[in-house]
Amino acid sequence: MNKDKLKRVFAEGIVKNQRPSVHDSLLWLNIEGEAIGFKREHLTEKELLLLKELYPEFVHIPEPKTPEENEWNKWFLGERNLAPNTANIRFIHFTLEQSIDDYDAFHDIWDSMSEEPSSIIWFSQKNGVVINTNEMTREKNDFESLIDAMSSDFYADLTILIGAEVAEPKMEQFKWEQQCLENIQSLNPKKRVFHIHEAYVYYLHSFIPTNERNQFMKSFFTEEILHDFDLLNSISVYFESNLNISLAAKTLHMHRNSLQYRLDKFSDKTGIDLKQFSQAAFVYSLLLLLPLKKH
C-alpha cells in the first residue's frame, strides 16, 4: 500500500500539522521517507501490528531546547507570522549523507564556530537549519574545517548552503534556499560548501539537460582543458581569491609567476581574457559545474 492510499484509509487516525514527537498516544512510522503519525486510539490491535510489520518506526529528531529555538520552530510550522529575529540573520542550511546518533555533539561543533550558542532546527534525521545571528566573518576554509570535523566525528559527509543575510526573514526566501540546496547537490556532488550567490548560478544550470550542459562546456573548453584539473583548479582558486593572484598563489602553495603562467596558458588555449569581467564571470559560472578538488 503506497503512502497516499494509506493516508486515505487511515484518514481519521492520521496526525496532521504536527512535528514528530515522542508521545504514548501516537505511533510514528517512516513511510517512504516521510514521518507519518497515527493516533493509537483509532487503530485496532491487528492494524497496529500490521503497520509495525510493514514500516519501520520513525527515529525522532531533537526537539527545540532553548526559547529561541522554540520560537523559530513555531515560525517554521506556521504558528507565528513574523520571524522571531531581533537583528540581521542568515540561514545556514545543512544536509547529512546519513543520520547520526549524537545530536548534542553535532550542536557542540556548531557552537565552537560561533561566539554565541547556535539555534538549530532539525526537519528530519539528516536535514536542518542553523539560524546564524552573528556577523558572518568566517572564511570558506573555516566551514571546510567544520565539515572535516563533522566527517571525522560522525563518519558522515555534511553539505551546507550559506543563505543570504536578511533583516526580515520571509518564509518564501527560506523555502527557496532550502530547495536550492536539494537541487544543486547533484550538479557538484564533491562540493561541500555553497554560498547563496553560487546557488543562483547552480540553480539556473539545473534546468539545462545534462547532455546540453556537457555540449555547452565543450563548445568553449577543449578536451585538453577539461582534463587539466590542475589548471582549472588554479583558475577556480584565482576567482575565489577575488582575482588577487598573490593570494591565490599562496593558497595553492605555488609561486606567483607559476600561477600567472597557468592563467596565460588558459587564455591562449581558449581565447578568453580573464582580466575582462564579463569573460571572467562566464568562466566562473562554468567552473562551478566541475568537481574540482579542494585546495
Which CATH number fits the domain that encloses residue 253?
Answer: 1.10.10.2840
Beta strands, E only, 119-189: 119-122, 127-132, 158-162
Q: Residues 178, 238: one domain? A: no
Q: Residues 109, 174: one domain? A: yes
| Mean pLDDT, the chain, whole residue set | 84
Question: Is the C-alpha dihedral spanning 107, 162, 76, 158 positive or negative?
Answer: negative
Q: Residues 28, 84: one domain? A: no
User: Do residues 240 and 140 lie in contact, with contact meaning Cβ atoms separated by under 8 Å?
Assistant: yes
- Does residue 295 sit within a domain? no
More confident residue, 139 or 267: 267
Place of cell 526537519: 123
Q: Residues 106, 232: one domain? A: no
- The SS3 assignment for 219 reads helix
With bands split at pLDDT 50, 70 and 90, how would you rate the model's confidence at 294? very low
Q: Determine what percent of the chain falls in helix, strand and coil, rounding each to the nearest 5.
A: 50, 15, 35
Q: Residues 25, 38: one domain? A: yes
The pLDDT of residue 122 is: 92
DSSP class of residue 79 equals S
Strand partners, 132: 90
DSSP class of residue 89 equals B
Q: Residues 42, 160: one domain? A: no
The boundaries of the domain holding residue 19 are: 3-54
Q: Residues 199, 103: one domain? A: yes
Q: Residues 47, 169: one domain? A: no
Q: Rg of the Cα trace of the chain?
A: 23
- Does residue 82 sit within a domain? yes
With bands split at pLDDT 50, 70 and 90, how would you rate the model's confidence at 203? confident
